């Protein structure tokens, strides 16, 4: 059993503090757990500001305020701005950079009474599926320290699974919340694109990135999303959809239409396949109907994603040039050397690889053949999802093809690493909400996650279905 199971969750802590429990004591305990972290999940602890915030929460509650996240300790992935605190995306190119403003999600967390206790480790600039590309070193999986926690939000997932905090924020560009959630045995939710503001998130792929929660269950996720979601005029891609409801929409399994995709014959771990089969049987026994659905263009999703994402990354990361902010090389001979050496010294190997790929697909003579063609395939995939959801309420499948793999096992094989996201990428390309739900363990005690995808904008319904599915697993 995960250590997190012995600690109160988001709703329990908020209820206790609103009823008079001391948030300072709760936050102090979380700070001590973060400072004792042996997984390398927490890279910075904000003791002074966290205790000051907790004291403010106590005062607000004492004067009659009822706060939805009163006293809840939270970790931020190291690509979310928290004013006055470092934000480095776990990259040497941003060493020592201090956020000059709050991300919108941080503003909303603090207004709701949450207490940010530190920063979580991550793959550098969110580029990776194992949390091994961080300049702070790899995070270890709390269920087996010799295995990866997944990425890129590996620190956030590991910290929640280890019981350091009940809630952490991550970002998801192609599965970076859901894949580590599956590897660590937590719930990880990627909202509908635009449902949560990206203002203050260090950009990787602007048309794909989305901030979301990692926590214990669907009810905790709904409460977190109720706070951080909603339109934001500071984000030009923000959706006009209202904030998510604080409690998931209750949904009975009887009569629920669950879409089932045809899965590849090879590459799916037998334990994950068996878990999916058991889940199907349990859902049918509870009255749900299984509906075969197809996403005909999903077979192109990985290729499509790694063209669009790298193109957007190359564009977004061009601002890190050794001139404006961040790392600058010493004693350059000329301006060209400032650019070349600063970027070579600051960016890790995986980030450099993706910048080069992205520069290629955006270059003259190749833009039409690669980037624009990938965008046309993306449009077809969006249509595939719309057609599938006309026949079902939710799509069920595995989150990952395998359980957590060993540290170092795939770091030198980019293609195998990229294929870890084969089941999660489609939701980012289509912009639909998706989550990974804990669904048991392998015979070695490694967590298994099930993937649920819902129609565009139906985040509340998806969380309600997730709660119902979890109840029968």
pLDDT the model gives residue 250 = 78
pLDDT the model gives residue 2 = 58
Average pLDDT of 438-444? 96
Question: What is the DSSP code string of 139-180?
Answer: --BTTBTTB---SSSHHHHHHHHTTS-SEEEEEESSSTTHHH
pLDDT the model gives residue 356 = 96
Q: Encode pLDDT of 328-350 as tens digits.
A: 999 999 999 999 999 999 999 99
Q: H or E stretch including 453?
A: strand 447-453
Q: Round to whole Å and give the CA distance between 405 and 397.
A: 20
Average pLDDT, the chain: 96
Catalytic entry in 124, 134, 152, 238:
152
Weakest-pLDDT range from 103-112, 159-168, 317-326, 397-406: 317-326
3-state secondary structure 226-279: HHHECCCCCCCCCCCCCCCCCCCCCCCCCCCEEEEECCCCCCCCHHHHHHHHHH
Domains of the chain plus CATH, in order, are 3-228 (3.90.1300.10)
77 given a catalytic annotation: yes
444 given a catalytic annotation: no
214, 220, 226, 230: CA torsion to nearest 10 = 20
Catalytic entry in 171, 176, 239, 436:
176
Q: Encode pLDDT of 43-92 as tens digits.
A: 999 999 999 999 999 999 999 999 999 999 999 999 999 999 999 999 99
Say if residue 138's pLDDT is above 70.
yes
Average pLDDT of 437-464? 97
Task: Report the percentage of the chain scoring pLDDT > 90.
Answer: 93
Q: Which residues pair with 168 in a beta bridge?
A: 75, 214
pLDDT the model gives residue 15 = 98
Q: H or E stretch including 77?
A: strand 73-77
pLDDT the model gives residue 377 = 97
pLDDT the model gives residue 267 = 83
- pTM given for the model: 0.96
Say if residue 104's pLDDT is above 80.
yes
Weakest-pLDDT range from 79-83, 244-248, 253-257, 263-267: 263-267
For residue 126, give the nearest of 304, 301, 299, 317 by alpha carbon. 317
Catalytic entry in 2, 77, 156, 229:
77
Q: Encode pLDDT of 190-213 as tens digits.
A: 999 999 999 999 999 999 999 999
For residue 152, whether the previous peptide bond is cis, meaning omega lies within 30 degrees of 0, is: yes
Say if residue 1's pLDDT is above 50.
no
pLDDT the model gives residue 3 = 59
Number of Cα atoms under 13 Å in the Cβ half of residue 152? 30
236 given a catalytic annotation: no
Average pLDDT of 392-404? 97
Question: What is the DSSP code string of 353-371?
Answer: HHHHHHHHHHSTTTIIIII
């Amino acid at each position: 059993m995960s250590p997190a199971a012995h600690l109160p969750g988001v709703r329990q802590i908020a209820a206790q503090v609103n009823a008079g429990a001391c948030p300072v004591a709760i936050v102090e305990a979380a700070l001590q757990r973060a400072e004792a972290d042996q997984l390398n999940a927490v890279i910075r602890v904000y003791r002074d500001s966290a205790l000051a915030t907790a004291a403010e929460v106590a005062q607000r509650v004492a004067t009659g305020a009822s706060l939805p996240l009163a006293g809840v300790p939270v970790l931020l992935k190291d690509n979310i701005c928290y004013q006055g605190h470092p934000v480095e995306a776990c990259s040497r190119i941003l060493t020592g950079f201090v956020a000059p403003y709050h991300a919108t999600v941080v503003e909303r967390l603090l207004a709701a009474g949450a207490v940010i206790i530190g920063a979580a480790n991550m793959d550098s600039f969110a580029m990776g599926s194992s949390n091994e590309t961080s300049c702070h070193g790899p995070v270890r999986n709390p269920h087996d320290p010799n295995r990866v926690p997944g990425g890129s939000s590996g620190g956030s997932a590991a910290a929640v699974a280890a019981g350091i905090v009940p809630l952490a924020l991550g970002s998801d560009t192609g599965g970076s919340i859901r894949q580590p959630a599956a590897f660590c045995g937590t719930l990880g939710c990627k909202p509908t694109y635009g449902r949560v503001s990206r203002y203050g998130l260090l950009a990787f792929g602007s048309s794909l990135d989305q901030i979301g929660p990692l926590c214990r269950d669907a009810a905790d996720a709904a409460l977190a999303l109720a706070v951080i979601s909603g339109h934001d005029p500071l984000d030009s891609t923000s959706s006009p959809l209202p904030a998510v409801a604080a409690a998931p929409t209750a949904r009975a399994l009887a009569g629920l239409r669950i879409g089932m995709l045809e899965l590849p014959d090879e590459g799916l771990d037998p334990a994950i396949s068996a878990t999916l089969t058991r889940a199907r049987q349990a859902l049918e026994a509870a009255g749900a109907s299984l509906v075969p659905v197809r996403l005909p263009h999903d077979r192109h999703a990985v290729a499509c994603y790694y063209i669009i994402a790298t193109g957007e990354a190359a564009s977004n990361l061009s601002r890190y040039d050794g001139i404006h902010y961040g790392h600058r090389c010493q004693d350059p001979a000329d301006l060209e050397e400032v650019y070349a050496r600063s970027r070579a010294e600051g960016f890790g190997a995986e980030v450099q690889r993706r910048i080069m790929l992205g520069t290629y697909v955006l270059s003259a003579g190749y833009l039409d053949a690669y980037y624009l063609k990938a965008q046309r395939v993306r449009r077809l995939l969006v249509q595939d999802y719309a057609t599938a959801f006309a026949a079902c309420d939710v799509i069920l499948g595995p989150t990952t093809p395998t359980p957590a793999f060993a540290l170092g096992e795939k770091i030198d094989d980019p293609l195998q690493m990229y294929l870890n996201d084969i089941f999660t990428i489609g939701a980012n390309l289509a912009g639909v909400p998706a989550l990974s739900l804990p669904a048991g363990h392998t015979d070695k005690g490694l967590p298994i996650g099930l993937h649920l995808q819902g129609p565009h904008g139906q985040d509340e319904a998806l969380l309600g279905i997730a709660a119902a599915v979890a109840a029968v697993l």
